[in-house]
């Protein structure tokens, strides 16, 4: 019988949601959905000093924007301290953990001694089997009794067999601080086990945490999950992705006019692929994604690739889907007469949603001023003369085809070329020399509005 796949995403709310984090969430989400399992969201907010309510809100907002639904309620670690205390006490009672009364001075003295001997800094286990009277004035930490020798081995779904030599990486690490608060590795193990998480897909910056967590799983008699450690995202220069390579905050991409469909498609391909395919809908990904096929190598971030995907989705989404995303940026084509026509007109040349919004505004609104560079380049006395005649002769045209036929006849009549009229006409109608097909702009505005705008432009040129 196949195991019910349960995955999770567990961000710390000390800052915005990084796109690397969103990729991790996406991989976990897709694996759970493909297998009709569960995808859980846990907020790791035990660092009470550094936590931010705004960051928590931003994480949830990013999930909503990307339409990544999770199962059940969000789990907040800050509400689970009593549970952690129970399991710390259980390990103490079973002799698998112990109180360590080492003072700061003792710890500093040990570190200096190890440094001088060029040894790896580590706790020396001096209170591991302590039976005496606890020293006064010391609030003890709780340490796990880690193995003293041997190897910790596990089979990673991406990296294959991974071995850690105990002497090289481990000591009796702390599971509860002197104030009683649990440490990161401890809370992760407790929560993953109690939430039933059996597949953990995470960044390989967590690889060094895995042996510590395996020790805790075994000490608590919990089943160890399957681990998948994903290589980092690098910039095109091969260095770890940072702000100098572009936006790293997920919601910054929304403010740049990127579509969530494009961002998710972009992120899933940073480390995973299917044949030579580039375009995947979320439904296709739920069928195709397999974490065992994630690359072992770091992936390279390319904004040009993201922009290319964004352009694709702008062109191919349905009117309702595209307008839904535009509404989230406070622009609604449903409020515009012939809005569907205008959106389809603008989407063909747009790289982001603001190209559409700004393009729509320049067509809908009567120009208040005109691009000086465009005017200087395209407007002459002769052009103004023909623009006036064009306005005068415009009559009952309705469709773009009608306007095109009329314009061709007009150009023949006065022995002109389209470039002599098209750019001056664009400037008069929209305020600049960039727009979709001039004939479709004429159709959208209609004869009366076009005449009004041309006359207004001509009046300002006097």
Reported as a single tens digit per residue, the pLDDT across 210-266 is 999 999 999 999 999 999 999 999 988 888 887 677 667 899 999 999 999 999 999
Q: Are 227 and 206 in contact (CB under 8 A)?
A: no
Regarding beta strands 38-43 and 199-203, do their DSSP bridges make them parallel or antiparallel, or are they unpaired? unpaired
Same domain, 88 and 175: yes
The mean pLDDT of 44-61, rounded to a whole number, is: 87
Same domain, 151 and 48: no
Q: What is the CATH number of the domain that holds 307?
A: 3.40.50.620
Same domain, 140 and 89: yes
- Binding positions are 243
Same domain, 27 and 119: no
Q: What is the CATH number of the domain that holds 408?
A: 1.10.10.350
Same domain, 156 and 168: yes
Q: In angstroms, rounded to a whole number, what is the distance separating the alpha carbons of residues 438 and 461?
A: 21
Question: Structural domain of residue 49, as residue ranges?
Answer: 1-71+231-316
Q: Tens digit of pLDDT for each residue in 398-430?
A: 899 999 999 999 999 999 999 889 999 999 999
Q: Tens digit of pLDDT for each residue in 133-178?
A: 899 889 999 999 999 999 999 999 999 999 999 988 889 999 999 9
Q: Tell me, what's the pLDDT at 248?
A: 78
- Binding positions for ATP are 243
Q: In angstroms, rounded to a whole number, what is the distance separating the alpha carbons of residues 190 and 172?
A: 18
* Average pLDDT value over all residues in the chain: 94
Listed residues 215, 230, 245: the one ending a domain: 230
Burial of 292 (0-12, 13-18, 19+ CB in 10 A): exposed
Query: In which band, very low, low, confident or very high, does the pLDDT at 115 lie, cut at 50, 70 and 90?
Result: confident
Same domain, 297 and 251: yes
Same domain, 118 and 166: yes
Q: Tell me, what's the pLDDT at 1?
A: 44
Number of structural domains (the chain) is: 3
- Per the domain annotation, does 355 fall within a domain? no
């Amino acid at each position: 019988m196949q195991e019910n796949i349960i995955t999770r995403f567990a961000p710390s709310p000390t800052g915005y949601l990084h796109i690397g984090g969103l990729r991790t969430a996406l991989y976990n989400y897709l694996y759970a959905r493909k297998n009709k399992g569960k995808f859980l969201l846990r907020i790791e907010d035990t660092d009470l000093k550094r936590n931010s309510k705004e960051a928590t809100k931003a994480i949830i907002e990013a999930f909503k924007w990307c339409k990544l639904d999770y199962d059940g309620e969000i789990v907040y670690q800050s509400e689970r301290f009593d549970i952690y205390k129970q399991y710390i006490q259980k390990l103490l009672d079973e002799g698998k953990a112990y109180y360590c009364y080492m003072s700061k001075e003792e710890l500093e003295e040990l570190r200096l001694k190890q440094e001088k001997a060029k040894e790896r800094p580590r706790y020396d286990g001096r209170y591991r089997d302590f039976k005496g009277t606890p020293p006064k004035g010391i609030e003890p930490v709780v340490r796990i009794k880690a193995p003293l020798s041997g190897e910790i081995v596990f089979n990673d779904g991406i990296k294959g067999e991974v071995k850690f030599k105990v002497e090289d990486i481990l000591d009796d690490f702390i599971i509860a601080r002197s104030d009683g608060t649990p440490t990161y590795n401890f809370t992760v193990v407790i929560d993953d086990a109690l939430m039933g998480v059996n597949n953990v897909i995470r960044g390989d910056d967590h690889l060094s945490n895995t042996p510590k967590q395996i020790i805790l799983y075994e000490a608590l008699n919990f089943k160890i999950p399957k681990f998948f450690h994903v290589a980092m995202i690098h910039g095109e220069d091969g260095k770890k992705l940072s702000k100098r390579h572009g936006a790293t905050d997920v919601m910054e991409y929304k403010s740049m006019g990127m579509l969530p469909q494009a961002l998710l498609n972009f992120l899933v391909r940073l480390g995973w692929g299917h044949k030579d395919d580039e375009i995947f809908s979320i439904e296709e990904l739920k069928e195709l994604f397999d974490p065992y096929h994630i690359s072992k190598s770091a992936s390279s971030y390319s904004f040009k690739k993201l922009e290319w995907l964004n352009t694709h989705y702008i062109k191919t989404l349905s009117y309702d889907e595209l307008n839904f995303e535009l509404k989230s940026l406070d622009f609604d084509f449903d409020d515009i007469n012939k809005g569907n026509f205008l959106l389809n007109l603008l989407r063909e040349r747009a790289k982001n949603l603001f190209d559409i919004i700004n393009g729509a505004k320049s067509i809908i609104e009567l120009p208040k001023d005109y691009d000086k560079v465009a005017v200087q380049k395209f407007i002459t006395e002769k052009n103004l003369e023909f623009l006036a005649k064009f306005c005068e002769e415009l009559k009952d045209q309705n469709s773009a085809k009608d306007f095109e036929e009329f314009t061709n006849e007009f150009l023949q009549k006065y022995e002109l070329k389209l470039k002599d009229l098209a750019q001056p006409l664009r400037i008069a109608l929209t305020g600049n020399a960039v727009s979709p097909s001039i004939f479709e702009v004429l159709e959208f505005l209609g004869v009366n509005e076009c005449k009004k705008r041309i006359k207004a432009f001509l009046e300002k040129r006097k």
